[in-house]
Amino acid sequence: MAKINLKALSKQELESFIKESGLPAFRAKQLLHWIYERHVRSISDITELSKDLRERLEGKAYISNLAMLDRRTSVDGTEKFLFGLEDSESIESVLIPDKDRLTLCISSQAGCAMVCRFCLTGAMGFRRNLQPHEISDQIIAVGRLIGPRKITNIVFMGMGEPLANFDNVVEALRRITGQMKISPNRITLSTSGIAPKITELAVKAPKVKLAVSLNATTDAVRDYIMPVNRKWPLKALMEACRNFPLPARSRVTFEYVLLKGVNDTPDDAKRLVGLLKGIPSKVNVIPFNPYPGSEFKRPDEKSVMGFQNILLNAHMTAIIRKSKGQDISAACGQLKARYL
């Protein structure tokens, strides 16, 4: 009989496994603590259990671990990790230091089916959804590799569209906020704009922060650069954002990748002000970082500043974000592309 991966079990499933194994309920608590807080690699490392019990459990169960295939560090301190999964698929996670923060950007799918035109992951295509433990395990694996430093924030902005893997992402969020005890305030989920799932997220998941990769102010442009817009156009997306329940003093983050001659005009900036009216929000303006073969160009400094100024003059919070880790293929999907 194939062994059971304890990390693949939800809290309830692990409790049932312990019960069916004829063990008292507190053993499940011990296992959860050692797996999610002490980050053990195997059952034999759980020294709180007797040697006999560890051997008995190892006869029918194991704890999976992500395999690190590649690790690179940028001159700006950004670190990229490429991890192998049990079926030989691979995913990437990116660690971004910023003042007193250490943010880990994690993947929710191997590849992505959303085919945003400015994204290399989109160009690589969709492989499969990640299981909940493959999502939360990125935090455990990177945490082990960077000790004694501690990850302070989590963003779902790596490979994949989190809301297209909804149930597994919600279960991963339960584990991250429950078993791993990371505050939902420190977690941001970024979506390309699956409007009905934004609404569902507010009901079913722990109360994490929301980011939306917006990148256009008209349906015509957004249809072209982000095909998700053909199904859920700007009106539906803005409505879902407007109704998303935010914790006090919290805002929705809108990411806006500036593509030269496509979405970077003063009229775009003015339309953006109108679109975000009534939504507590901040805008991250990200000048596009071209990669070999990309069809888009980076706008010049003057148009970036001009775009930002229109937002600032309308009393919006607008921050220009520089792409980090460019020297080690920073943007979404580039580490994997390099590895392949």
Contact set with ligand SF4 (CB under 6 A)? 112, 114-116, 119, 121-122, 159-161, 192, 213, 332
332 is catalytic: yes
Nearest CB to ligand SF4, comparing residues 114 and 275:
114
Nearest approach in angstroms of CB 58 to ligand SF4 is 38
Choosing from 105, 112, 116, 332, the catalytic residue is: 332
Nearest approach in angstroms of CB 310 to ligand SF4 is 24
Return all residues near 90 (Cβ < 8 A) that are at least 6 apart.
Answer: 69, 82, 83, 84, 110, 336, 339
Residue among 89, 88, 166, 83 nearest 132 (CA): 166
Give the SS3 label for residue 255. Answer: strand
Nearest CB to ligand SF4, comparing residues 160 and 287:
160
Nearest approach in angstroms of CB 135 to ligand SF4 is 14
Nearest approach in angstroms of CB 270 to ligand SF4 is 25
Nearest CB to ligand SF4, comparing residues 132 and 162:
162
Residue nearest to ligand SF4 (CB): 122
Give the SS3 label for residue 335. Answer: helix
- Measured distance CA(324)–CA(150) in Å, rounded: 20
Nearest CB to ligand SF4, comparing residues 57 and 264:
264
Got the DSSP string for 101-148? Answer: EEEEE--SEEE-SS--TT-HHHHH-EEEEPPHHHHHHHHHHHHHHHTT
Nearest approach in angstroms of CB 240 to ligand SF4 is 16
Choosing from 79, 92, 161, 171, the catalytic residue is: 92
Alpha helices in 158-225 (DSSP H): 166-177, 195-204, 219-225
Nearest approach in angstroms of CB 117 to ligand SF4 is 9
Nearest CB to ligand SF4, comparing residues 6 and 332:
332
In the chain, the DSSP E strands lie at 4-5, 61-62, 67-73, 79-84, 90-98, 101-105, 109-111, 126-129, 153-156, 187-191, 209-213, 252-258, 281-287, 317-320
- Measured distance CA(39)–CA(64) in Å, rounded: 11
Q: Compute φ and ψ for 196, nearest 5 degrees.
A: -65, -30
Nearest CB to ligand SF4, comparing residues 32 and 165:
165
Q: Which residues belong to the active site? A: 92, 332
